[in-house]
Structure 1
Amino acid sequence: MAPLKDLLILDFSTLLPGPMATLMLAEAGAEVIKVERPGTGDDMRGYEPSVQGEGINFAMLNRGKQSIELNLKDPAARDRLRPLLERADVVIEQFRPGVMTRLGLGYEDVRALNPDIIYCSISGWGASGPKASEAGHDLNYMAETGILGLTLGSDGAPVLPPILAADIAGGAYPAMVNILLALRQRDKTGEGCWIDVAMGENLFPFLYWALGNASALGRWPRAGGETVTGGTPRYNIYRTRDDRFIAAAPLEDKFWANFTRVVGLPAELCDDDKDPAATTGAVARLIAEKTADEWLAAFEGVDICCSLVRSLEEALADPHWNARGVFGRGLRMGGRTVPALPSVIAPCLRDDRAGDLAPGLGTSNDTLS
């Protein structure tokens, strides 16, 4: 039996963090009902790209859920939610702090109807503090936690990250983890709780190495000057003769010894503690002498921690992912089936009956009657 079977989750969230969290919970067997505004629903329904008018991003994040269409500003409409609120196990919302309370749907309001409810609020800055009411997006959270300042390009300017780390790693994953912990706690105590997930502050653990150095030694991290920011030849990106790139990460001595031997680094430069910049420059010149394919052939079968920087198209063609079934689940949209978003839920914990369709807006409104 799927571990979250028979759990009901009311999902008031939109866009990415909350929907991804509830997608993972649905994968584990939970019944997830999205509560969407009339007419348009979740904004992602209308985002491009789309297939026959169905937003691909929405479909990827909301497969296997149900949808009800409801105007939360209408007291009569909110009253229709009462039966679902009374039997829900989890409520998840993603409005700015205070919005749900003003709608009469805050934690205390719901707890009055359902004392053991687990109520999860996701916001950028958290429900308290000077920034609590400020708007923000992923780029803002990475900028204000110091992460963006460590991602400088060759011109010295910060580089736009290609991933939404705050939304997913700072929002969706912590929400899922804390909801599961709260469910376990409720099993023991019979009591629910309110979970305040702040996407911005949840990025700081990714800087554990920098925070430790700063607090213990007073050494603040430098862009381009630390182990994981380009300050060592053992963790760097090198251009090949055919303008491809090798991501080299032979950090440990055993890997570094293999790497220096394969690339032909002169013995006097192998001790990279003496002059890291000189060693990095020498490695760069050596890598630039051969094509990417030549280097991949040279690295073959050697414990060396080096990879070709691949495009997404190239990455998806790697047989490793197919062998592990990473894209084995299907998503039906536009009259055809495409690979569903890979799940972080282990196969032994997934619900094989999880749907392969995203819900149409309001298709489960009959649950309100």
Structure 2
Amino acid sequence: MTAALHQLKVIEMAGIGPCPLAGQLLADLGAEVIVIDRASTPADPTDINRRHKRSIALNLKSPEGLKAAQQLIAQADVLIEGFRPGVMEKLGLGPNESLSANPKLIYGRMTGWGQTGPLAQTAGHDLNYLAITGALHPIGAAEQPPVPPLNLAADYGGGTMFLLLGILAALYERNTSGQGQVIDAAMVDGVPAMMGLLHTWFARQWWTTERESNFLDGGAPFYRCYTTADNKYISVAPLEPHFFKELLAHADLPAEHYDSQYQKDNWPERSQQYADIFRKKTQAEWLAIFEGSDACVAPVLDFNQVEAHPHNAARGSFVRVENVLQSAPAPRFSRTPAKAPIAPTAVGGDTNLLLAELGYSPEQIANMRTTGALT
């Protein structure tokens, strides 16, 4: 069996964050992903986003290095890059040049601010993109500054996933038109696109701008985390009344709370009441109480614990490659399964082979090394 994307050829310009993850996910699903790197370095098994990729190290300021990059792009289905707007154009690898040489190319551009707008040329990071889109403000405790939700929401949710959506949609459209196009994937566009339900609730006045006062921001006693007797944590999330009823029964909480679950004026007092109750037993004791129930209770695990959780273990959600913990490929396919993860090869380690595949002779490759075109 072959993986779903086994005939797709992708060029990834080396960078950090959303683009390397996008390339990894495509490679997991069988795409041939070639990274154009700045300089060769030894293999690093901890560089998980490089798994299943090949690498060529080119000096793009050298005419020979630039020509090799252009040849690779001319043979690709997809290019992904995450530089500030204009950088690829200055290198001579912009959309106009690349699509002129390869009209079927899907040119994926990944930035935080987007290709246009007053902030397009300024630096930024996940937290900034969440901040200006309204996604950061509700996260954290009341009367305290918002809390960074790692870099999952903007970098990888609004960034990587929307870049992949754009690429796959453009590939689908190319089947009809036969033409490539440019994808402007911006985190400040992707994050709001994920907030449709919150915008709905806000429009219906079911959501306020006061932090920790809504039912998904920690304000509700039935949707938050609690400390247990052994200073561990459990997540409690029975939003639906029939699930909430199970929480009340299993935790020996007042049954009359069922009829007033969504009355906000009760929430502060009940949050304290529930916190006191959950403090009376250890995490393991609570998990035993809730085992097999629909009360929507789960342990809060750290990186050292996730692999051994029975559900994660049964599904094989995590794997180890050279003892490096990482995710198994996702999603799962019934007929064209993803490739099993392998350790990344050396940065620049495929340079000679990739140049040979382009038709370069050993003498030409040796000369490129002598002139500094290969790094």
TM-score in terms of structure 2 length: 0.85
TM alignment of 1:60-209, pairs within 5 A: 60-153=48-141, 156-209=144-197
Change (3 A) 1:266 1:322: closer
Change (3 A) 1:78 1:119: same
- Decide which of 268, 277, 281 is 1:290's aligned counterpart: 281
Change (3 A) 1:305 1:351: closer
Q: Distance in 2 between matches of 1:219 and 1:257?
A: 23
Aligned partner letter, 1:317: A
- Native 8 Å contact 2:25 2:329 kept in 1: yes
SS of structure 1 residue aligned to 2:110: strand
Aligned partner letter, 2:120: A
Do residues 350 (structure 1) and 351 (structure 2) align? no
Is there any run of 5+ residues in structure 2 with no aligned partner, and where? 361-375
SS of structure 1 residue aligned to 2:305: helix
Q: Look up the match of 2:267.
A: 276
Q: Look up the match of 2:364.
A: none
Q: Look up the match of 2:220.
A: 232
Change (3 A) 1:351 1:284: closer
Q: Look up the match of 2:18.
A: 17
Q: Distance in 2 between matches of 1:18 and 1:363?
A: 20
Change (3 A) 1:207 1:221: farther
Aligned partner letter, 2:180: G
- Native 8 Å contact 1:149 1:158 kept in 2: yes
- Native 8 Å contact 1:13 1:92 kept in 2: no
Q: Distance in 1 between matches of 2:327 and 2:148?
A: 23
- Native 8 Å contact 1:13 1:95 kept in 2: no
TM alignment of 1:19-38, pairs within 5 A: 19-38=20-39
Deviations 1:232-259 (A, max 9, x none): 1221222223322221111111111111
Change (3 A) 1:81 1:54: closer
**1:85 CA drift (Å):** 2.2
Q: How many residues of Structure 1 are paired with residues of Structure 2 in the alignment?
A: 350
**1:172 CA drift (Å):** 1.6
TM alignment of 1:209-288, pairs within 5 A: 209-217=197-205, 220-270=208-258, 271-272=260-261, 273=263, 275-288=266-279
- Native 8 Å contact 2:207 2:214 kept in 1: no
- Native 8 Å contact 1:210 1:220 kept in 2: no
SS of structure 1 residue aligned to 2:327: coil
- Native 8 Å contact 2:113 2:120 kept in 1: yes
Q: Distance in 2 between matches of 1:350 and 1:301?
A: 30
Aligned partner letter, 1:78: L
Q: Distance in 2 between matches of 1:163 and 1:357?
A: 24
- Native 8 Å contact 1:269 1:278 kept in 2: no
Q: Distance in 1 between matches of 2:142 and 2:230?
A: 19
Is there any run of 5+ residues in structure 1 with no aligned partner, and where? 41-52
Q: Distance in 1 between matches of 2:282 and 2:3?
A: 49
SS of structure 2 residue aligned to 1:132: coil
Aligned partner letter, 1:350: P
Worse-superposed segment, 289-298 or 176-185: 289-298
TM alignment of 1:305-320, pairs within 5 A: 305-320=296-311
Change (3 A) 1:240 1:83: closer
- Decide which of 316, 320, 327 is 1:325's aligned counterpart: 316
Aligned partner letter, 1:277: P
Deviations 1:250-274 (A, max 9, x none): 1111111111122222344442326
SS of structure 1 residue aligned to 2:134: coil
Q: Distance in 1 between matches of 2:205 and 2:323?
A: 54
**1:128 CA drift (Å):** 0.8
Change (3 A) 1:5 1:128: same
Identical amino acids, percent of aligned pairs: 35
SS of structure 2 residue aligned to 1:312: coil
Do residues 363 (structure 1) and 349 (structure 2) align? yes
Deviations 1:31-79 (A, max 9, x none): 1111011356xxxxxxxxxxxx754542x11111111111122233212
SS of structure 2 residue aligned to 1:321: helix
Change (3 A) 1:292 1:83: closer
Measured on the aligned residues, the alpha-carbon RMSD in Å equals 2.4
Worse-superposed segment, 310-319 or 224-233: 310-319
Aligned partner letter, 1:186: R
Worse-superposed segment, 355-364 or 62-71: 355-364
SS of structure 2 residue aligned to 1:229: coil
Q: Distance in 2 between matches of 1:322 and 1:218?
A: 38
Deviations 1:140-160 (A, max 9, x none): 222222232222237612223
- Native 8 Å contact 1:27 1:345 kept in 2: no
Deviations 1:65-102 (A, max 9, x none): 11111112223321223332221111111100111011
**1:18 CA drift (Å):** 0.8
Q: Look up the match of 2:372.
A: none
TM-score in terms of structure 1 length: 0.87
